[in-house]
């Protein structure tokens, strides 16, 4: 299976039309059609259903399209990092949980690009479980994860600052009149929680019960989308502060009491060799932070 064929496949997936894909790639239509047929025979599955000039992905095709995109992205990143001059160039990828602690990394990126203006950083917002998967596959160089997080397979560096747990709710909600929310106030409420592994266990630990008396009605991996559920009246979102700007909005963040906080860590896979660009970023961040923050 050649990268060239995967790029043909990727173009057809984007256009859902072989003629337009051929024009985009500046190759003949029969060439793409033949390569797609050979690809399906090699894989032993149908990737498309064809209806005249229009085509649609099969379920196998949708899965393969996602894998092909990851393969091509990794290949492009690898070539980008290899084709560097004596000056450090190239790119690196950070998978990010939503956290205001990311400002520390943003400041390190600014200093790095001042020194090496040809370095590019790619940010992908996701949760800790997805970050763990993509770090192992090599699609991400680094991840920013909120605690609690399993870091057994990773090198990590604690980032400064903490975020406070609380509830995001409409300003007209009964609990919105309180300065703080107690865990007992969650009883009987509809709660929207992060899908990150360990969050529900953490909440049960706070409660001191294996079955807290609240109703989890939805989960999220990006808090912005969860905030829209809150606005729509689906429930209250359990989250950390500093992510959603509630100024001049219909929402308000009310912190939990007793005070509950969480930290943030930068993680990278122990078995992965960092590219020059990624290594330069890590050195810059290490310089910015205290050496005792790093555990390898």
- What is d(CA 213, CA 230) in angstroms, rounded to the nearest whole number? 20
**For residue 83, what pLDDT is reported?**
63
pTM for the model stands at 0.64
**For residue 292, what pLDDT is reported?**
44
**For residue 284, what pLDDT is reported?**
94
Q: Given 3.40.50.2300, 1.10.10.10, 3.30.1330.40, 1.20.120.520, which CATH number is that of 3-80? A: 1.10.10.10
**For residue 25, what pLDDT is reported?**
86
CATH 3.30.70.580 fits 81-160+263-295, yes or no: no
**For residue 202, what pLDDT is reported?**
78
Q: For every one of its 296 residues, what pLDDT tens digit does the chain have, with 9 covering 90 and above?
A: 788 889 988 888 888 888 888 888 888 988 988 998 898 899 999 998 887 767 889 999 899 999 999 999 888 888 777 765 457 889 999 999 888 888 999 999 999 999 899 999 999 988 888 888 999 889 999 999 887 777 888 999 999 988 899 999 999 999 999 999 998 898 889 999 888 777 777 777 887 776 667 888 999 988 999 999 999 999 999 999 988 989 889 999 999 999 988 889 999 998 788 999 999 999 999 999 865 444 45
- What is d(CA 160, CA 149) in angstroms, rounded to the nearest whole number? 16
Q: Give the architecture (CATH level 2) of 162-261.
A: 3-Layer(aba) Sandwich (3.40)
**For residue 294, what pLDDT is reported?**
46
Residue ranges of domains in the chain: 3-80, 81-160+263-295, 162-261
Neighbour-count burial for 125-157, b at 16+ CB within 10 Å, e otherwise: bbbbbbbbebbeebbbbbbbbbbbbebeebbbb
**For residue 207, what pLDDT is reported?**
75
Listed in sequence order, the residues at least 6 apart from 136 whose beta carbon sits closer than 8 Å to its beta carbon are 153, 269
């Amino acid at each position: 299976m050649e990268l060239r064929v995967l790029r043909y496949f990727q173009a057809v997936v984007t256009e859902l039309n072989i003629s337009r894909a051929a024009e985009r790639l500046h190759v003949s239509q029969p060439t793409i059609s033949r390569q797609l047929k050979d690809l399906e025979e090699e894989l032993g599955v149908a990737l498309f259903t064809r209806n005249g000039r229009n085509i649609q992905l099969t379920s196998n095709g949708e899965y393969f399209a996602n894998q092909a995109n990851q393969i091509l992205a990794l290949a492009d990143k690898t070539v980008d990092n290899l084709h560097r001059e004596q000056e450090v160039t190239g790119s690196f990828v950070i998978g990010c949980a939503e956290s205001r602690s990311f400002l520390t990394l943003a400041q390190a990126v600014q200093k790095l690009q001042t020194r090496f203006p040809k370095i590019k950083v790619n940010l992908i917002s996701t949760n800790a479980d997805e970050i763990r998967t993509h770090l192992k596959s090599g699609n991400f160089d680094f991840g920013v994860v909120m605690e609690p997080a399993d870091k057994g397979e990773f090198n990590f560096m604690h980032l400064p600052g903490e975020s406070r747990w609380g509830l995001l709710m409409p300003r007209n909600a009964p609990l919105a009149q309180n300065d703080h929310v107690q865990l007992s106030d969650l009883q009987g409420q509809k709660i929207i929680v992060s899908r990150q592994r360990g969050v529900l266990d953490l909440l049960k630990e706070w409660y001191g019960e294996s079955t807290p008396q609240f109703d989890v009605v939805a989960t999220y991996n990006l808090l912005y989308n969860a905030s829209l559920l809150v606005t729509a009246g689906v429930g209250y979102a359990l989250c950390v502060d500093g992510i959603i700007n509630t100024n001049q909005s219909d929402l308000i963040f009310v912190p939990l009491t007793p005070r509950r906080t969480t930290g943030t860590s930068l993680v990278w896979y122990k078995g992965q060799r960092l590219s020059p660009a990624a290594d330069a970023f890590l050195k810059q961040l290490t310089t910015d932070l205290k050496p005792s923050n790093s555990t390898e």
